[in-house]
Structure 1
Amino acid sequence: MRSLGALPKPVLILEVIGIAFLLLSYLSLNGYVTLPAPFGNATAAIIMVFLGIALMLPAAAFMVWAMAQNVAPLLTKGQAPLDKSHSDKPKDKRDDADH
């Protein structure tokens, strides 16, 4: 993962919305922002925290999956190709009885 911009657009949008929910819940719990009645209580702030974390999980899963593909290609892409030096030709046997 070279940059955050390498994330797909929907995952990046979910990440930004999740961060916004976390920021809004922090600001409302500390009294910096006054939210309307249904969203102004502590229960709504706790729900916003969990919703923000849930919206950030797809980006974390995508980054872990991309790292797994880069670090351990055998886990995701199957068996590695064989070396060209190990071809299917039979090797000469030194212990043949046909001299």
Structure 2
Amino acid sequence: MRNLARLPKNLLVMEALGGLLILGALLFANHWLSVPAGVDSKTLATALLLAGIALMLPAAWLMIWRTAQSMAPQLFGHTDKKTDTRRRP
């Protein structure tokens, strides 16, 4: 069985970048980092939060999809063709 948590490298990079954007949103919302002139900190924090979540969604979707496929393969057309190995008398 394939490892469900193994993700492609581009999704891992997107996941890490999304985490960094969410961390940046937290820092800007609490005024721990200074905001460039002319930009509202709440607006910037909201935009970073939404962008971070959007970058993290594909990895979460892929893990949910793989989990659903492994839990109910008949729903996705993947039938397990195991032969009956019991001995008959």
The two structures have a TM-score, normalised by structure 1, of 0.70
Give, in whole Å, the separation in 2 of the partners of 1:38 and 1:10.
Answer: 34
Bigger Rg over Cα: 1
Indicate the residue corresponding to 2:60 in structure 1. 60
For 1:64 and 1:81, the matched residues in 2 are separated by 24
Which runs of 5 or more residues in structure 2 are unaligned? none
Q: Corresponding residue for 2:23?
A: 23
Instruction: Specify whether residues 82 and 7 from structure 1 end up closer, same or farther in structure 2 by C-alpha distance, changes over 3 A only.
Output: closer
Report 1:1-99 matches (<5 A): 2=3, 4=5, 6-37=6-37, 41-81=41-81, 83-84=83-84
Cα deviation for residue 37 of structure 1 reads 2.8
Could you tell me how far 1:73 is from its partner in structure 2?
1.1
- Cα distance in 1, alignment partners of residues 75 and 3 from structure 2: 21
Which runs of at least 4 in structure 1 moved beyond 6 Å after TM superposition?
none
Q: Which amino acid aligns with 1:77?
A: G
* Unaligned residue ranges in structure 1 (runs of 5+): 86-99
Question: Any idea what SS the aligned residue of 1:37 has?
Answer: coil
Corresponding residue pairs, total = 84
For 2:38 and 2:10, how far apart are their aligned partners in 1? 28
